[in-house]
Amino acid sequence: MQMMHVSDFVHGKTQDIIYLDHAATTKVDPEVFEAMVPHLQEEYGNPSSLYGLARRSRIKLEQARETVASFIGADASEIVFTGCGTEADNYVIKGTALAKGEQGRHIITSAIEHHAVLHPCQALEKQGFEVTYLPVDEYGLVSPEQVAEALRDDTILVTIMYANNEVGTIEPIAEIGAICRERGVWFHTDAVQAVGKIPVNVDELNVDMLALSAHKIYGPKGVGALYVRKGVRLPPLIDGGAQEEGRRGGTENVAGIVGLGKAIELLQRRGEEDNRREAALRDRLIAGITESISHCRLTGHPEQRLPNIASFVVQYVEGEGILLSLDMEGICASTGSACTSASLDPSHVLIAMGYSHTLAHGSLRLSVGRENTEEEIERVIELLPPIVQRLREMSPLWADARKRGEVT
């Protein structure tokens, strides 16, 4: 194998990269880019202004809103554009606290949510709110029964992700939503990873709010959207002008929103076929890697998972070492290892699923996308085993396991 030179590595000069981190972000699709460009240049009108230049921006903005709404089975008036998925989640959680803090101060979420949900919940705990973090099973599944048991008279919000970003497990959102609806409690789902990968219909899912993000679906960074069911009133977090029907101040990111609309159009056109193809690549990765590397297993639910995420724990090695080594081969991947975060704590998701700290440190996530080819997948399956072997030869844990005869 031909490793690139260290200085090329430092500066990221990669000739041919194999991008397997689509759950982190995606490349803007050329059609999306094309749709956006006019709104960064000649079509620069402020959608709130009166004249023709502005009206044209407004029309595009509202068309994008229609597109997003119809894709998830909502009405255009129920869509609020935000600066990102994280903002949408924050809006729901802090907005609900503002709207309903007088009626109740209890929120239910899960232990495996994205930080975009966990951290606003923790911020509210400091304000005197009580948060229940539901446990998950070994596959990362939240049980609807546990949601029902956790509901209290003072519960104002339940927020459970549709699909987990680290292990790809799909949560039983429709069932949980039905329980919340019966009890009259607002239900939000962070669908940032799910949109475009699995069917998303707000009525079928029984959700009151749903967050999504453009850059996970070949749209631009800096744009998200929040579905807010009619009748659910959230006071704005960003006070300012009357944009977004007074729900979010600030001049709209027209180019970005138009990009989101186009990205959704592409999902409508080709999403199903992409997902079928990506699921096959994912399955090949899972089979190829778990067969060729000992003491390595799939994390997350074996069937109830996103079509694009293959996630593993590789015992006796640490994830960042795998990532650095893959990067030196031009392969982009991800890990929940503490060593890639400032906190020193490994993935809260894997810990919640019952994995030990050392195992959680050896996590590896490969998320496929539109442009990946079978050849790329085969190359990764070929390159990964020697990388893991080299790191294991360096690992005292591997040495000890060998002395104990647990590995060969």
Partner 1 sequence: MAVDFMYSEKVLEHFRNPRNMGEIEDADGVGDVGNPKCGDMMRITIKVDEATGTITDVKFKTFGCGAAIATSSMVTELVKGKSLQEALAVSNKTVVEQLGGLPPVKLHCSVLAEQGIVAAIQDYYAKHPEKTPPPELESKAQYLEKVDPHGWPDGDQ
Indicate which residues carry an active-site annotation. Answer: 339
Contacts of 186 by beta carbon, 8 Å cutoff, 6+ apart: 96, 100, 156, 157, 158, 180, 208, 209, 232
Residues 201-220 as x/- pattern, contact with partner 1 by CB under 8 A: --------------------
Half-sphere exposure of 143 (CA within 13 A, CB side): 9
Q: Which stretch binds partner 1 (CB under 8 A): 117-125, 131-139, 155-163, 338-346?
A: 338-346
Contacting partner 1 (CB under 8 A), which of 3, 50, 242, 287? 3
Coil/strand/helix, residue 247 = coil
List the structure tokens of 100: 């309903």
Residues 374-393 as x/- pattern, contact with partner 1 by CB under 8 A: -------------------x
Question: Within a 10 A sphere around the Cβ of 206, how many other Cβ atoms?
Answer: 19
Q: Which stretch binds partner 1 (CB under 8 A): 159-167, 197-205, 317-325, 364-372?
A: 317-325
Nearer to partner 1 (CB atom), residue 52 or residue 396: 396
Sign of torsion over alpha carbons 38, 41, 47, 53: negative
What would the DSSP string read from start to end of 183-200? HT-EEEEE-TTTBTTB--
Minimum CB separation of residue 381 from partner 1 in Å reads 22
Residue 344 as a binder of partner 1 (CB under 8 A): the answer is: yes
Rg of the chain on CA atoms, in Å: 22
Contacting partner 1 (CB under 8 A), which of 321, 326, 349, 350? 321
Q: Which stretch binds partner 1 (CB under 8 A): 85-93, 109-117, 173-181, 394-402?
A: 394-402
Minimum CB separation of residue 400 from partner 1 in Å reads 7
Contacting partner 1 (CB under 8 A), which of 150, 279, 324, 332? 324
Contacting partner 1 (CB under 8 A), which of 318, 365, 368, 377? 318
Nearer to partner 1 (CB atom), residue 211 or residue 359: 359
Contacts of 359 by beta carbon, 8 Å cutoff, 6+ apart: 313, 315, 350
Nearer to partner 1 (CB atom), residue 220 or residue 362: 362
Minimum CB separation of residue 278 from partner 1 in Å reads 30
Coil/strand/helix, residue 334 = strand
Integer Cα distance of 363 and 316 in angstroms: 11
CB 158, CB 93: distance < 8 Å: no
Exposed (0-12), middle (13-18) or buried (19+): which is 58, by Cβ within 10 Å? middle
Contacting partner 1 (CB under 8 A), which of 159, 299, 337, 372? 337
Q: Which stretch binds partner 1 (CB under 8 A): 95-103, 104-112, 248-256, 334-342?
A: 334-342
Minimum CB separation of residue 344 from partner 1 in Å reads 4
Question: Within a 10 A sphere around the Cβ of 225, how many other Cβ atoms?
Answer: 28
Contacting partner 1 (CB under 8 A), which of 52, 126, 302, 404? 404
The single residue listed with the structure tokens 């059609």 is 31
Residue 231 as a binder of partner 1 (CB under 8 A): the answer is: no
Nearer to partner 1 (CB atom), residue 175 or residue 320: 320
Coil/strand/helix, residue 131 = strand
Integer Cα distance of 348 and 68 in angstroms: 31
Residues in binding contact with partner 1, number by CB under 8 A: 38
Residues numbered 348-367 forming contacts with partner 1, rule: CB under 8 A: 356-359, 361
List the structure tokens of 213: 């993000």
Contacts of 70 by beta carbon, 8 Å cutoff, 6+ apart: none
The single residue listed with the structure tokens 């939000």 is 188
Nearer to partner 1 (CB atom), residue 229 or residue 297: 297
Contacts of 140 by beta carbon, 8 Å cutoff, 6+ apart: 112, 164, 167, 169, 299, 300, 301, 349, 352, 353
The single residue listed with the structure tokens 């844990």 is 397
Contacting partner 1 (CB under 8 A), which of 52, 128, 231, 396? 396
Nearer to partner 1 (CB atom), residue 279 or residue 324: 324
Nearer to partner 1 (CB atom), residue 56 or residue 295: 295
Closest C-alpha among 23, 20, 33 to residue 263: 33
Contacting partner 1 (CB under 8 A), which of 46, 63, 304, 340? 340
Residue 406 as a binder of partner 1 (CB under 8 A): the answer is: yes
The contact set with partner 1 (CB under 8 A) reads: 3, 6-7, 9-10, 315-318, 320-321, 324, 328, 337-342, 344-346, 356-359, 361, 393-401, 404, 406
